[in-house]
Amino acid sequence: MGAKTAGLPVIESCGGCGACCLVVTHPPFYSVFQEFGEEAWERLRRERRDLVHEIAADYRARRAAGEPLSGTPCLWYDPATRRCRHYEYRPLACREFGIGEDDCREARRRAGIDDP
């Protein structure tokens, strides 16, 4: 363990955290214009068109109102449980986010989690 990580809390799960969800505004799916996107997006399009419409409607409403398109809590984030409301459909970026890695720790720091 290096000096940089000495004394840092061990982070074993995302349970009760949600720090990485606080600034993405919309689920960060990877899609390619006029082509297929990531598998999770294609599955969402097949199985939960209502959620696809929810994301699109929120995006349009934010643009029309001049609200930010990033930097706010994810549309799917539930602040009461600090969890994703549609975890089974989460994007690849969320699935691969490294628990306890530098980006995770930075998100937790910004959210005031694990402060001494």
Tens place of pLDDT per residue across the chain (116 aa) = 444 555 667 888 888 889 999 999 999 988 765 666 788 988 999 999 999 999 999 999 999 999 998 899 999 999 999 999 999 999 998 988 889 899 999 998 888 887 65
CA–CA distance, 1 with 79 (Å, rounded to integer) = 34
Q: Are 38 and 92 in contact (CB under 8 A)?
A: yes
How far from the centroid of its chain's Cα atoms is residue 34's Cα? 24
| Structural domain spans, the chain | 19-111
Q: How far is CA 24 from CA 5, 29, 35, 90, in A?
A: 26, 11, 23, 13
- pLDDT value at residue 73: 95
Total-model pTM: 0.80
Mean pLDDT (the chain) is 86
